[in-house]
Amino acid sequence: MNPLKEKILRLVRETGPITLAHYMQMALLDPKHGYYVKRDPLGRDFITAPEVSQIFGELIGLSFVQAWEDRGRPERFCLVELGPGRGTLMADLLRAAAKVRPDFAAAADIVLVEVSPALRAAQARALQDHAVRWASALGDVPDDAPLFLIANEFFDVLPARQFVRSAEGWHERMIAERDGTLTFVLSPEIAARTLPQAVPNQVFEIQDAASAIVAEIAARIVSRSGAALIIDYGHFAGLGDTFQAVKAHEYCDPMENPGEADLTVHVDFASLFEAARHENAQVLGPINQGAFLDALCIRLRAERLKCAAPERRTEIDAAIDRLTNPAHMGSLFKVMAICDGRSPGMPGFPC
Ligand code: SAH
């Protein structure tokens, strides 16, 4: 049997049912068998926007250059990416920024927040021409300079807890053992937290780790200036079970093979918005990814790229469609910016 499944079954037998957040943490980041610890899943199990087109990272690079200028071109700042995958977005961002403002990268202290050894190695390869360093958490990044931060498809993998409404109140969904397999059960206790109004059987998800990280980003930006872009699939205030497992571009059973599939939830942007506002940050959006990329003139950039590489016309058109069309990534994916409120906002958002 899958060694991680055995480990989780043993834990559940010894200590009783575990939360979904605990299960996600083990399945994704167990130091030996965790999904992200063992491998580079990009392309094989799922594909992300920076891997679809170089234009994605380039436009983000240009918007950070604009934000840097708007904040008086600080001589030193932290340029941070949370969960940088293969490092593609950061490489595209830096290349585009260098074209328009060669001194941008020189002022940047580039920190990649990554826990996966396999992906750190991929990032080192993609960014070999740049001085970058790694941190395991945002707390390990210096907080003595303005912060410019990007997180694409990072928050969706953070551990989530689920609660199910009964006539009496909310019960946490736990993971237990039944006949040698892992299965969901409901905690008999009523949850002590205040949760929204709902009818029986509705599910509500909470990502405490995500809200805590956003609060930290917002607090740093408010005190040191800067800007952050958070891009992910998600919704703005929603009840519902969005927990899912993906392997080889297909949905699969999240309990069957822990450590072998990506586990995610849809990000609840309403809680992230609240967490940032609580720190007195200015929050822009969330808006749909399609609208954001259109406002940054993705089609103009695509035309330029097609002129430079006419043989790639069809491929470039398909990539732009994938990123912006509401039938693909255009509306499920949302973009939210966190700003200090003293400087202009971020390009791409309505004024
Ligand atoms: N941003 C990339 C990759 C998204 S996949 C892209 O758009 O292509 C999620 C990324 O988050 C991976 O790099 C994964 O290793 C990293 N990750 C997952 N959990 C993490 C955690 N708790 N702390 C830091 N990085 C994490």
pLDDT tens sequence across 252-306 = 999 999 999 999 999 999 999 999 999 999 999 999 999 999 999 999 999 999 9
State the pLDDT at residue 39: 86
CB-defined site of ligand 1, < 6 Å: 36, 42, 48, 50-51, 83-85, 89, 113-116, 119, 152-154, 157
The pLDDT assigned to 292 comes to 98
**What's 46's DSSP letter?**
B
Distance 322 CA to ligand 1 centre (A): 21
What is the end-to-end Cα distance of the chain in Å, rounded? 55
High-pLDDT (> 90) share of the chain, %: 94
Distances (CA, A) of 125 to 6, 104, 144, 240: 35, 21, 28, 40
User: Could you tell me the distance, in angstroms and rounded to a whole number, from the CA of residue 49 to the centre of ligand 1?
Assistant: 13
Closest Cα to residue 288, out of 331, 248, 256, 339? 331
**How far is residue 182 from each of residues 11, 16, 253, 313, measured CA to CA in Å?**
11, 12, 11, 48
Does the pLDDT of residue 197 top 90, yes or no? no
Ranges assigned E (strand) in 181-281 = 181-186, 203-206, 226-235, 244-247, 250-252, 262-264, 267-268
By alpha-carbon position, which residue is closest to atom 3 of ligand 1? 85
| pLDDT attached to residue 346 | 96
Mutation choice for ligand 1 from 154, 229, 246, 263, CB with most ligand atoms inside 8 A: 154
- What mean pLDDT is predicted for residues 43-70? 96
Residue 43: pLDDT band by 50, 70, 90 thresholds? confident
Tokens at 81, concatenated: 């990416």
Return the closest-CA partner of residue 211 out of 160, 171, 165: 160
Q: Could you tell me the pLDDT band of residue 202, with boundaries at 50, 70 and 90? A: very high
> By C-alpha distance, which of 319, 347, 326, 346 is closest to 56?
319
CA pair distance 168, 329, nearest whole angstrom: 39
Query: Is the pLDDT confidence value at 1 over 80?
Result: no
How far away, in angstroms, is 104 Cα from ligand 1 center? 25
- Are 94 and 130 within 8 A, CB to CB? yes
d(CA 281, CA 149): 14
Residue 250 phi, psi (nearest 5): -125, 150
Which atom of ligand 1 is found nearest the CA of 151? 1
Q: Rounded to the nearest whole angstrom, what is the distance from the C-alpha of residue 119 to the centroid of ligand 1?
A: 8
Do residues 93 and 62 make contact, with C-beta atoms less than 8 angstroms apart?
no
Residue nearest to atom 17 of ligand 1 (CA): 83
pLDDT band of residue 184 (cuts 50, 70, 90) is very high
CA–centroid distance for 130 within its chain: 23
Would you state the pLDDT for residue 194? 87
| CA 85 / ligand 1 centre spacing (Å) | 6
Burial class (CB in 10 A: 0-12, 13-18, 19+), 162: buried
Q: Is the pLDDT of residue 351 over 90?
A: no
Percent of the chain with pLDDT over 70: 100
Give the C-alpha separation, 326 to 310, whole Å: 26
* Alpha carbon nearest to ligand 1 atom 24, residue: 114
Distance of CA 51 to the CA centre of its chain: 14
H-only helix segments in 147-249: 208-224
Q: What is the pLDDT of residues 4-26, one digit of tens each?
A: 999 999 999 999 999 999 999 99
Q: What are phi and psi of 339, to 5 degrees?
A: -130, 170
Q: Are 184 and 18 within 8 A, CB to CB? A: no
Give residue 193's pLDDT. 87
Cβ atoms of residues 186 and 19 within 8 Å? no
Count of residues making up the chain: 351
Cβ atoms within 10 Å of 193's Cβ, excluding its own: 12
Residue 156 has pLDDT above 90, yes or no: yes
Sign of CA dihedral 284, 296, 158, 248: positive
pTM of the shown model: 0.97
CA 169 to ligand 1 centroid distance, Å: 34
Best mutation site among 53, 157, 217, 289 for ligand 1, i.e. most ligand atoms within 8 A of its Cβ?
157
Structure tokens at 224: 């040191």
Q: Determine the average pLDDT of the residues in 235-264.
A: 94
Classify residue 39 as exposed, middle or buried by CB count within 10 Å of its CB (0-12, 13-18, 19+). middle
